[in-house]
Structure 1
Amino acid sequence: MSSKFQPVLIIGGSGVVGSQAAKIIRRLHPKLPIAIGGRDVGKAEAVAREVGNAIGVSVDLARPDLGFGHEPRFSAVVIFLKDEKLSSMRYAQRHGIPYISLSSGTFEVGPEMAQYIHAPDKAPILLASHWLAGAAIFPILEFAKAYEAIDTIRIGVLLDEQDMGGPAALADYNRITGLAPAALTVKDGKLHWAGGEDSKARYRSVDGVELDAVAYSPFDVMALSARTNAGNIRLDLAYSESASRRRGEPFSTEIVIEIAGRGRDGERLNHRHEIVHPAGQAPLTALGVALAVERMLGLAGGDASAPGLYLPEVLIDPAYYVRRMKEFGASFAERSLMAAE
């Protein structure tokens, strides 16, 4: 089935996360061709050889054709870095192919939305700048099935200081934390931008150690507000040492989710869920991208996506996503917090 496609272009595919995404796509779909795109074609070609059934290509975001001319060459475009000119999005629209974006902060999503609105029938556009491309929101939506109504969703994420990834990830982190006026939260049913003292928080790691954290707003907060109608939603980021490294092991990444509300039986329900990947953030981000690619191309979960503007959670089944997370190394633990109320 996959052999009918032209290559999926992964811009930034020779980076830490991009290369892992290519390898996961290859594992899920052995016949799907891939183009590893980057400024250093030699590095891109080296990654392509590792991936197999792939090519390395040079990408020039300063050119409307990305340096590829005007003939159709790809089946989809994935970009792991901030494209300030939106050249890659316009390229996908011009050729009518899926586009997956990963690097926008909530406060800077306007240009991509405007570009879509002015060409709504051209291509399917997926805005996937969620935490680790969906590693928090999909488990939350799966856990939410146990609730009749949700009052509070509290998300704590830990990014180990040794686990930033490559230069593109660092640039995104510095840009978003440096330029964002505040972090989007939901407080008492209202959208609320938390800044200054209001943005400070404490994160309790999976080993019980408390760390300083700060409110952060990837797309999860606004997406969960739309999907769950919870009255309070907040995501706090701790950029610190992971529990595994405190034990003398390599760094890991942690996602802690607390959901409070009314269960299907009408009783109060308050659970804490702890998700850990022992290899850090890159495998989970890469998996999220791979699942988005396969879904938009119609390789899993339904037909290929029609032109439109999408968030991942409207396309991918949460149970399937969580199952894949476990298959690719994430561990899940749960405990009731009822005694703490």
Structure 2
Amino acid sequence: MSSKFQPVLIIGGSGVVGTHAAKIIRRLHPALPIAVGGRDLGKAEAVAREVGGAIGVSVDLGRADLGLGDEARFSAVVIFLKDEKLSSMRYAQKHGIPYISLSSGTFEVGPEVAQYIHAPDTAPILLASHWLAGAAIFPVLDFARAYEAIDTIRIGVLLDEQDMGGPAALDDYNRITGLAPAALTVKDGKLHWAAGEDSKARYQSVDGVELDAVAYSPFDIMALAARTHAGNVRLDLAYSVSASRRRGDAFSTEIVIDIAGRGKNGEPLKQRHEIVHPEGQAPLTALGVALAVERMLGLAGGEAPRAGLYLPEVLIGADYYVRRMKDFGASFAEGKVTADAA
């Protein structure tokens, strides 16, 4: 196996989602070398053997060189956990290689933006802390092509109680839900932070069952506000039992998208779309990371981007992303439009 690239370093690559990501990268690009990084070298090496064409490395986020030395060894850095010191980002900037971040809440994006601003010409930085690394925003943008203008985007997501993933994912969830003072939404054309009673919602699962939900603000909200100019944008998270588990099967993950606006013919248009992955959130998150890696390296979608600050939807085509979601097991269906979808 040969490649013009050095290995892609996946920090947290021996975790649940990181392992999925490494396997999907291998499936999409069989010759691309991968370095599975983690605190436990033995576990990282075991995952590397399972993936094939990979190595395991020990990563220490407490060190500026990540415990990897100062020589250039990698073609990109992906991190699946919160790096409070931004050591991994500075490492990527020092070596001039792409950096992909996945674990920041909207309210805590400032430090990464500041780090980029102080070294803007060193490396391409991709902030991909969207819901499941893009599994909601890209379908929204694909569906949005049917509209002349959009008034409302309402996203409901269900994370099954048995589908949290590994310790890093749980840490992110607890940190973001515990520290965020409120959830960013767009209401009547204005940025609005929903808190208290305002943050509560109801989520209608794909089998029609209604569940308690709460406003949640991954990067999708600010990105959709910038991209679509919709006057109302909100994402509600239900942490409960998925429809598949209610009927006795294994857990799944669900994304329900309601869009209301004016169609290309000038008439009012409301649509509801339901997306399900039968294996839960990990495969979709991992796919989003794999598509980000291939785009940042110029393996799909055009030449590798220059140094800059990016969001995934600026670089990756929505139609391509949705096609890949279907290729990797996600099902798409039209849902029944409800009265509160507008």
Q: What is the CA distance between 1:338 and its match in structure 2?
A: 8.1
What is the CA–CA distance in structure 2 between the aligned matches of 1:149 and 1:208, rounded to whole Å? 28
Deviations 1:200-251 (A, max 9, x none): 0000000000000000000000000000000000000000000000000000
Q: What is the CA distance between 1:305 and its match in structure 2?
A: 1.2
Deviations 1:178-203 (A, max 9, x none): 00000000000000000000000000
Q: What is the CA distance between 1:335 and its match in structure 2?
A: 3.7
- Which one-letter code corresponds to 1:264 in the other structure? K
Q: What is the CA distance between 1:334 and its match in structure 2?
A: 1.1
Root-mean-square deviation over aligned CA pairs: 1.2
Alignment of 1:130-169 (within 5 A): 130-169=130-169
Q: What is the CA distance between 1:318 and its match in structure 2?
A: 0.3
Deviations 1:4-33 (A, max 9, x none): 000000000000000000000000000000
- Alignment correspondent of 1:188: 188
What is the CA–CA distance in structure 1 between the aligned matches of 2:248 and 2:23, rounded to whole Å? 28
What is the CA–CA distance in structure 1 between the aligned matches of 2:214 and 2:175, rounded to whole Å? 15
Q: How many residues align?
A: 341
Unaligned runs of 5+ in 2: none
Q: What is the CA distance between 1:2 and its match in structure 2?
A: 7.2
Segments ≥4 residues shifted beyond 4 Å: 338-341
Alignment of 1:62-101 (within 5 A): 62-101=62-101
Q: What is the CA distance between 1:339 and its match in structure 2?
A: 7.8
- What SS does structure 2 have at the residue aligned with 1:279? coil
Q: What is the CA distance between 1:336 and its match in structure 2?
A: 5.6
What is the CA–CA distance in structure 2 between the aligned matches of 1:339 and 1:226, rounded to whole Å? 26
Q: TM-score, normalised by structure 2?
A: 0.98
- Alignment correspondent of 2:308: 308
What is the CA–CA distance in structure 1 between the aligned matches of 2:160 and 2:339, rounded to whole Å? 30
What is the CA–CA distance in structure 2 between the aligned matches of 1:234 and 1:337, rounded to whole Å? 17
- Alignment correspondent of 2:129: 129
Deviations 1:294-324 (A, max 9, x none): 0000000000110000000000000000000
- What SS does structure 1 have at the residue aligned with 2:3? helix
- What SS does structure 2 have at the residue aligned with 1:64? coil
What is the CA–CA distance in structure 1 between the aligned matches of 2:2 and 2:314, rounded to whole Å? 23
Deviations 1:120-153 (A, max 9, x none): 0000000000000000000000000000000000
What is the CA–CA distance in structure 2 between the aligned matches of 1:118 and 1:17, rounded to whole Å? 31
Alignment of 1:21-36 (within 5 A): 21-36=21-36
- Alignment correspondent of 2:225: 225
- Alignment correspondent of 2:17: 17
- Which one-letter code corresponds to 1:297 in the other structure? L
Q: Percent identity?
A: 86
What is the CA–CA distance in structure 1 between the aligned matches of 2:2 and 2:192, rounded to whole Å? 44
The question of whether the paired residues in 2 share the 8 Å contact of 1:163 and 1:281 is answered with: yes
- Which one-letter code corresponds to 1:210 in the other structure? E
- What SS does structure 2 have at the residue aligned with 1:140? helix
What is the CA–CA distance in structure 2 between the aligned matches of 1:140 and 1:183, rounded to whole Å? 20
What is the CA–CA distance in structure 2 between the aligned matches of 1:184 and 1:140, rounded to whole Å? 18
Q: TM-score, normalised by structure 1?
A: 0.99
Q: What is the CA distance between 1:337 and its match in structure 2?
A: 2.6
Alignment of 1:47-62 (within 5 A): 47-62=47-62
- Alignment correspondent of 1:118: 118
What is the CA–CA distance in structure 2 between the aligned matches of 1:124 and 1:64, rounded to whole Å? 19
- What SS does structure 1 have at the residue aligned with 2:115? helix
Unaligned runs of 5+ in 1: none
Structure 1's 339 and 175: CA in aligned 2 closer, same or farther, altered over 3 A? closer
What is the CA–CA distance in structure 1 between the aligned matches of 2:254 and 2:225, rounded to whole Å? 22
